Structure 1
């Protein structure tokens, strides 16, 4: 998905947002550029076979190319072709045959050194801690396989309750400006925003209340406070927000890759400016996450049962000493559409289609809010900023492709006409200074009892409808999608065996 984010807010008081488009290539008969090429190659090869042998062989050749073209052209409501679904199923069969969907760690596991290291895409990651120019500690996650470094920023969003509409519009405009500025930041590869809702253990509330109770207060008042502490956490939830910013070791394409020490020193000087600009977007108080806190977040994600123990240890002033090789699950088993890990079961969805038309700024409010049928819910927005040099060429290519698809038929469809208008509007906004950003979304629902899986799936389906977003369950790679939804800064296109550009054509 690609959207143009303009750094300034203008228009009526009740504003709506939209004009996001999915890049398409020019093609005939509704086909992509690859499908059109297969069509011409098949037609030409069939003619050559007919001339070289006989018409029967030519017809057979044409039928073979036609069947292959049908697997590329036939797509479901999520935009997946028959060929994509078939290759995903075959890949899953090979994964099960190798036993790669099962993971065991610890002293009796398969992981080296008897540790509980992270599985899958994050298996080779490393964690170090540095201090920025404000002397704040921050964790730096390194993924050597992709030469990426990620810093995680913890935020305290202000929320839209009892906030004027004008202030909300300013926050949205500042968020658009912040995303647009990422394209000018050297070395930034991707940004992810994770909103996590989880049950409140009540430990922090108990610590806050008990520390403020006056021993000379009336007995009734003390009993009332203790009663509130015991009953309030039931059914309540905590909301946490993280922003993970991923930098590439090479500041520019083809440049020298910097070491972890060089990246740590450089990010130490850049991080204060990034957090300060992020505060103006409604993120509230922003601060970098240190190594200990990041270890706790990842450990709880894989083993939700450890949340209460970690909260109680922190409340007692004795935070647990967690190390990066010990924050992974002791066991997991990835299924076709589920992911079993330690004390919980999770299902992850991916966004297949952004909302059609214009939407208000509160379109995601219900999807982000806690839900009684989902124990832990994680909504992650994935952004990949595009630098100004590539953005201009990309929007012009979209305009040419939309114009070709519109004019290739005597009776253009309404969808083609809408796509042409959207491409022209995006090009005009980019020319006036707007930034271009590729974006996606992952939604993870975690339950502690497998019998609650159906309720959690139904809840996410209903919430996605209210957000006007089309979600589909990630098939065959639930463990990878779960890791990508965590604030680790994993860039999924870099981990694909088939390039993302070719996958989009299929």
Structure 2
């Protein structure tokens, strides 16, 4: 029987219900202030009560899938309307342009800059430098073994090795986050058909030629292209000693990669190579222009010196706010963001519906941000204290504790116990993007994605008003909106 896993729990602090720690603190202080005013004037207390109730409802109580307050929803809508009015979510790189586009990619990808460095193995690799956050990202091309046909004992061993590696990240403060990106697209048998037909010799028997050609033709509807990348985001500002130049930072990143590659191999994901600059250019370009994906095979033009970073970007993009569809060159994309994880026990194949190939192109990206060992111990203790305070609050207000609150306290204590035994603690999120070339097939592609994450017992929400940013975040190139898109010069490496 497959082993079960759990432990997914959002950090709640001592907030009551869906109200976070800050909101609960504001409410408690407000109630105490109103109670204190009753000693001076009952009329003042009534006025303060009538005034604070709607203010708190608008500024403190969150609602909706995004868990924003009414004021935050209003600010989001106003900023989105302003962006649409100024066309800040559109991009054009025509042949004739009044403002030169330079080497920047559109939107939140603009701060990214590729660095070609020696990989220490006699070859070259690409590091991506985010000039707004100071993060250096190394992209590894991996080939997961897969657990569908694997022995159960081997699958459990891989998962345990993966958990041990995640726990070890708590002692590696330089690693800011890890991104796992899986792309799957139907190829129509192009690569396989060409591979077979190119190997049919002219003097082969006619019967064997017919058999091989029929096999190549029949494989068109049953082949897919699946690729997996692991992006390691390094924060050189947390290295000791801190690198003072790009050369020192790149050298420090390259020094860390062999150990990471060994850990991934133990977890069942063999590293087949480190991504080069031409490879990333072609991959990003194919994401924006799916019509050319079939012509950008991995083995072709690997050392093409004519490729430049500007070639990775699209020619034209546009985001439709009404339909939440991101248009880019020959593609139409829709993206989703993780909303809620399952509460119960899960199996190691929970993500299989999201990463397995289907009829439409799909990109799945999971971002994991580890807490340091010191932070993890402090967080789990605070979560236990928060659960105890909520239980005391329910007792004082003569309110029965809900089963959800009880289970949450149990999970918090279990997390503290596992952390004391050496388990890691971190935050993660997921992005899903589907892309089609014909806009008429987009509803079917969206329905396919929604059915898949339903089968995976995961809840996603459509990235309303943020399709362009979510599309960029799902590429796995060091862009992580959950940790901020920029930093101040005082906290940014090389700021």
Aligned counterpart, 1:260: 246
Aligned counterpart, 1:504: none
More off after superposition, 99-108 vs 120-129: 99-108
Aligned counterpart, 1:288: 274
Aligned counterpart, 1:23: 11
Question: How far does residue 230 in structure 1 lie from its aligned partner after superposition?
Answer: 3.7
> Does 2:220 align with 1:239?
no
Aligned counterpart, 2:310: 325
1:3-61 superposed Cα distances (whole Å, 9 cap, x missing partner): xxxxxxxxxx5311111110002135663322223323433555677788872x65343
Give me the whole-angstrom Cα distance separating, in 1, the residues matched to 2:103 and 2:223: 31
Give me the whole-angstrom Cα distance separating, in 2, the residues matched to 1:143 and 1:318: 24
Query: What secondary structure is seen at the aligned counterpart in 1 of 2:83?
Result: helix
Change (3 A) 1:480 1:28: closer
Give me the whole-angstrom Cα distance separating, in 1, the residues matched to 2:167 and 2:302: 41
More off after superposition, 268-277 vs 489-498: 489-498
Q: For structure 2, which runs of at least 5 residues remain unmatched after alignment?
A: 489-495
Q: Is the 8 A contact 1:196 1:379 kept in 2?
A: yes
Alignment of structure 1 residues 458-477 onto 2, 5 Å:
458-477=447-466
Change (3 A) 1:486 1:107: same
> Which of 174, 191, 194 is the aligned partner of 1:204?
191
Give me the whole-angstrom Cα distance separating, in 2, the residues matched to 1:29 and 1:462: 30
Change (3 A) 1:74 1:308: closer
Alignment of structure 1 residues 358-369 onto 2, 5 Å:
358-369=345-356
Aligned residues: 481
> Does 2:117 align with 1:130?
yes
Q: Is the 8 A contact 1:249 1:259 kept in 2?
A: no
1:403-461 superposed Cα distances (whole Å, 9 cap, x missing partner): 21123213111111111110101111111111112111111111111122222222222
Query: What secondary structure is seen at the aligned counterpart in 2 of 1:298?
Result: helix
Alignment of structure 1 residues 108-127 onto 2, 5 Å:
108-109=96-97, 112=100, 114-115=101-102, 117-127=104-114
Aligned counterpart, 2:426: 437
Give me the whole-angstrom Cα distance separating, in 2, the residues matched to 1:62 and 1:39: 12
> Does 2:370 align with 1:385?
yes
Question: How far does residue 123 in structure 1 lie from its aligned partner after superposition?
Answer: 0.3
Question: How far does residue 96 in structure 1 lie from its aligned partner after superposition?
Answer: 1.4
Change (3 A) 1:23 1:110: farther
Query: What secondary structure is seen at the aligned counterpart in 1 of 2:220?
Result: coil
Q: Is the 8 A contact 1:105 1:117 kept in 2?
A: no
> Does 2:81 align with 1:96?
no
More off after superposition, 421-430 vs 284-293: 284-293
More off after superposition, 154-163 vs 64-73: 64-73
Give me the whole-angstrom Cα distance separating, in 2, the residues matched to 1:327 and 1:393: 43
> Which of 270, 278, 296 is the aligned partner of 2:264?
278
Give me the whole-angstrom Cα distance separating, in 2, the residues matched to 1:29 and 1:19: 20
Aligned counterpart, 1:10: none
Give me the whole-angstrom Cα distance separating, in 2, the residues matched to 1:77 and 1:123: 29
> Which of 169, 176, 186 is the aligned partner of 2:163?
176
Give me the whole-angstrom Cα distance separating, in 1, the residues matched to 2:379 and 2:391: 18
1:325-354 superposed Cα distances (whole Å, 9 cap, x missing partner): 221111111233221111111111111111
Give me the whole-angstrom Cα distance separating, in 2, the residues matched to 1:315 and 1:102: 31
Q: Is the 8 A contact 2:133 2:486 kept in 1?
A: no
Q: For structure 1, which runs of at least 5 residues remain unmatched after alignment?
A: 1-12, 500-506
Question: How far does residue 181 in structure 1 lie from its aligned partner after superposition?
Answer: 1.7
Aligned counterpart, 1:193: 180
Query: What secondary structure is seen at the aligned counterpart in 2 of 1:276?
Result: helix
Question: How far does residue 397 in structure 1 lie from its aligned partner after superposition?
Answer: 0.9
> Which of 141, 150, 155 is the aligned partner of 2:142?
155
Give me the whole-angstrom Cα distance separating, in 1, the residues matched to 2:486 and 2:116: 32
Q: Is the 8 A contact 2:193 2:219 kept in 1?
A: no
Q: Is the 8 A contact 2:185 2:358 kept in 1?
A: no
Question: How far does residue 389 in structure 1 lie from its aligned partner after superposition?
Answer: 1.2
Q: Is the 8 A contact 1:125 1:141 kept in 2?
A: yes
Q: Is the 8 A contact 2:342 2:457 kept in 1?
A: yes
Q: Is the 8 A contact 1:197 1:376 kept in 2?
A: yes
> Which of 465, 482, 493 is the aligned partner of 2:482?
493
Query: What secondary structure is seen at the aligned counterpart in 2 of 1:183?
Result: helix
Query: What secondary structure is seen at the aligned counterpart in 1 of 2:122?
Result: coil
Query: What secondary structure is seen at the aligned counterpart in 1 of 2:383?
Result: helix
Give me the whole-angstrom Cα distance separating, in 1, the residues matched to 2:302 and 2:378: 55
Change (3 A) 1:134 1:287: same
Q: Is the 8 A contact 1:363 1:467 kept in 2?
A: yes
Aligned counterpart, 1:143: 130
1:161-202 superposed Cα distances (whole Å, 9 cap, x missing partner): 321111111111111112112222241111100011012154
Give TM-score, length-normalised by structure 2. Answer: 0.90
> Which of 55, 59, 64 is the aligned partner of 2:46?
59
Query: What secondary structure is seen at the aligned counterpart in 1 of 2:144?
Result: coil
> Does 2:441 align with 1:455?
no
